[in-house]
Amino acid sequence: MTKVILETRGISKSFGALQASKDVSIDLRAGEIHALIGPNGAGKSTLIKQIAGSLAPDAGQVFLNGQDVTALKTAARAKRGLGRTFQISALAMEDTVLQNVTLGALGAGASPFQFWRAALDDQAMRAVAEDALQRVGLQDHASAMTAELSHGQRRQLEVAVALTLKPRAFVMDEPMAGLGTEGSKRLTVFLDGLRAEAPILLVEHDMDAVFALADRISVLVYGEVIATGTVHEIRTNPDVRAAYLGDEE
Amino acid sequence: MTRESLFNIVMMSLLILFPLWAWIADEPFMITLATKAVILALAGVGLNIALGLGGLVSLGHAAFFGIGGYAMGILASHAQSYSPILESPFLIEGTKSMPVIWLVAIISSGLAALAIGVLSLRTTGVYFIMITLAFGQMLFFFSISWPAYGGEDGLPIYVRNGFPGLNTLDPIQFYGICFAILAVVLFFCARLAKSPFGLALNAARQTAERVETVGISPYRLRLAAFTISGMITGLAGALFADLNRFVSPTMFSWQTSGEIMVFVILGGVARLFGPVVGAALFILLEHLLGGLSDYWHIYLGLLLLLIVLFARGGVIGTFAGKGANHD
Ligand SMILES: Nc1ncnc2c1ncn2[C@@H]1O[C@H](COP(=O)(O)OP(=O)(O)OP(=O)(O)O)[C@@H](O)[C@H]1O
Ligand SMILES: [Mg+2]
> Are A217 and A229 spatial neighbours (Cβ–Cβ below 8 Å)?
yes
Q: How far is CA A137 from CA A128, A130, A155, A183, B57, in A?
A: 14, 10, 11, 11, 38
Shared-domain flag, residues A182 and A76: yes
E-strand spans in B112-230? Answer: 155-156
What gap in Å lies between CA B196 and CA B194, rounded to an integer?
7
pLDDT of residue A239: 83
Please judge whether A119 and B199 are an interchain contact, meaning their C-beta atoms are less than 8 angstroms apart.
yes
CA B137 to ligand 1 centroid distance, Å: 43
Ligand with smallest separation from the Cα of A173: 2
Distance from CA of A84 to the nearest CA of B (A): 7
The answer to whether residue A87 sits within a structural domain is no
A20 Cα: distance to centroid of ligand 1 (angstroms): 7
CB of B276 closer than 8 Å to CB of B45: yes
Residue A2: predicted pLDDT? 82
Residues of B in contact with A104 (CB under 8 A): 214
Buried b (16+ CB within 10 A) or exposed e, A63-88: bbeeeebbebebbebbbbbbbbbbbe
**CA separation for the pair A71, A236 (Å, rounded):** 38
Which residues on B lie below 8 Å from A79 (Cβ)?
Answer: 215
What's the pLDDT at A249?
A: 44
Domain membership flag for residue A241: yes
Pocket probe for ligand 1: among A11, A15, A220, the residue whose CB has the most ligand atoms within 8 Å is A15
The mean per-residue pLDDT over the stretch B140-155 comes to 91
Give me the mean pLDDT over the B221-226 stretch.
98
Radius of gyration of chain B (CA): 19
The predicted pLDDT at position B323 comes to 57
pLDDT (tens digit per residue) in B233-257: 999 999 999 999 999 999 999 999 9
Atom of ligand 1 nearest to the CA of A220: 21
User: Is there a single domain that holds both residue A55 and residue A106?
Assistant: no
Do A181 and A130 share a structural domain? no
Regarding whether A248 and A171 lie in a shared domain, the answer is: yes
The answer to whether residue A52 sits within a structural domain is yes
Q: For all residues of chain B together, what is the average pLDDT?
A: 93
Give domain status of residue A35, yes or no: yes
What's the CA gap between B223 and B294, in Å, rounded? 40
Distance CA B40, CA B276 (A): 8
Q: CA–CA separation, B244 vs B253, rounded Å?
A: 17
In a domain, A40, yes or no: yes
**H-helix or E-strand spanning residue A77:** helix A74-79
Find the ligand nearest to A44 CA: 1
pLDDT at A115: 92
Question: Is A95 in Cβ contact with B203 (below 8 Å)?
Answer: yes
**Ligand 1 pocket, A13 CB below 6 A?**
no
CB A139 within 8 A of CB A116: no
| CATH code: domain of residue A191 | 3.40.50.300
| Under 8 Å between Cβ of B61 and B43 | yes
Which of A137, A166, A195 terminates a domain? The answer is A166
Cβ contacts of B44 within 8 Å, gap of 6 or more: B260, B263, B264, B267, B274, B275, B276, B278, B279
A241 and A129 within one domain: no
What is the pLDDT at residue A111? 86
ipTM of the complex: 0.91
Nearest to B200 among A84, A103, A116 (CB): A103
Q: How far is it, in rounded angstroms, from Cα A152 to Cα A179? A: 5
Atom of ligand 1 nearest to the CA of A46: 18
Q: How many CB pairs under 8 A join A and B?
A: 114
Question: Residue B155 in 3-state DSSP?
Answer: strand
Domains of chain B, residue spans: 12-253
Q: What is the pLDDT of residue B294?
A: 77
For residue A87, which atom of ligand 1 is closest to its CA? 27
Task: Check residue B266 and give its pLDDT.
Answer: 93
| Last residue within a domain, chosen from A166, A183, A205 | A166
Residues A110/B186, Cβ–Cβ less than 8 Å: no
- A71 and A175 both lie in a single domain: yes
What does DSSP say about strands A67-68 and A169-173: parallel, antiparallel, or unpaired?
Answer: unpaired
Where does the pLDDT of residue B327 fall: very low under 50, low under 70, confident under 90, or very high at 90 and above? very low
Q: Are strands A169-173 and A200-203 parallel, antiparallel or unpaired?
A: parallel
pLDDT cut 90: percent of chain B above it: 78
pLDDT band at B24 (very low <50, low <70, confident <90, very high): very high
3-state SS assignment for residue B202: helix
Q: Is the CB of A18 under 6 A from ligand 1?
A: yes
Interface residues of chain A, partner chain B, Cβ below 8 Å: 52-54, 73-76, 78-79, 84, 86, 90-95, 99-100, 102-104, 106-108, 110-120, 122, 125, 161, 164-165
pLDDT tens by residue, chain A, 249 residues: 689 999 999 999 999 999 999 999 999 999 999 999 999 999 999 999 999 999 999 999 999 999 999 999 999 999 999 999 998 889 999 999 999 999 998 877 778 999 999 999 989 999 999 999 999 999 999 999 999 999 889 999 999 999 999 999 999 999 998 888 888 998 999 999 999 999 999 999 989 899 999 999 999 999 999 999 999 999 888 888 887 776 544
Q: Which residues contact A16 (CB under 8 A, 6 or more apart)?
A: none
* pLDDT given at position B326: 42
Q: How far is CA B85 from CA B238, B266, B272, in A?
A: 18, 40, 38
The distance in angstroms from the start CA to the end CA of chain A is 34
Contact B197/A108, CB-based, under 8 Å? no
Give me the count of residues in chain B: 327
Could you tell me if the CB of A40 is within 6 A of ligand 1?
yes
Minimum CA distance residue for ligand 1 atom 26: A40
Q: How many angstroms away from the CA of A161 is the closest CA of chain B?
A: 8
pLDDT in tens, B77-128: 999 888 888 887 888 888 999 999 999 999 999 999 999 999 999 999 999 9
Task: Indicate which residue's Cα is closest to atom 30 of ligand 1.
Answer: A41
Q: What is the whole-number distance in angstroms between the Cα of residue A48 and the centre of ligand 2?
A: 9
Nearest Cα residue to atom 12 of ligand 1:
A20
Q: Are residues A133 and A199 in the same domain?
A: no
Pocket test for ligand 1, best of A13, A21, A24, A45 (most atoms within 8 A of CB): A45
Task: Report DSSP letters for A131-180, one per residue.
Answer: HHHHHHT-GGGTTSBGGGS-HHHHHHHHHHHHHHT--SEEEEE-TTTT-H
φ, ψ of residue A221 to 5 degrees: the values are -135, 130
Q: Give the count of domains, chain A.
A: 2
Say yes or no: A98 and A138 in one domain. Answer: yes
Q: Are B44 and B185 in contact, with CB atoms under 8 Å apart?
A: no
Q: Examine the pLDDT at B169 and tell me if it is beyond 60.
A: yes
The answer on A75 and A190 residing in a single domain is: yes
Q: How far is the CA of A126 from the centre of ligand 2 (A)?
A: 32
Query: Among A110, A136, A166, where does a domain finish?
Result: A166
Which of the residues B53, B185, B214, B221 would you substitute to probe the A interface, choosing the one with the greatest number of A C-beta atoms within 10 Å?
Answer: B214
Structural domain including A136 reads 94-166
Q: Are residues A135 and A154 in the same domain?
A: yes
Residues A14, A74, single domain; the answer is yes
What tens digit of pLDDT does each residue of B181-208 get? 999 999 999 999 999 999 999 999 999 9
Tell me which of A153-162, A236-245, B47-56, B280-289 is least confident: A236-245
Amino acid occupying residue B178? C
Domain presence at residue A88: no
Q: Is B23 or A152 the better-scoring residue by pLDDT? A: B23
The pLDDT value recorded for residue B288 is 87
Judged by its nearest atom, the ligand closest to the C-alpha of residue A172 is 2
Q: How far is CA B218 from CA A182, B198, B202, in A?
A: 37, 12, 10
Q: Is the pLDDT of residue B29 over 60?
A: yes
**Residue B128: other Cβ atoms inside 10 A:** 20
- Residue B25 predicted with pLDDT over 70: yes
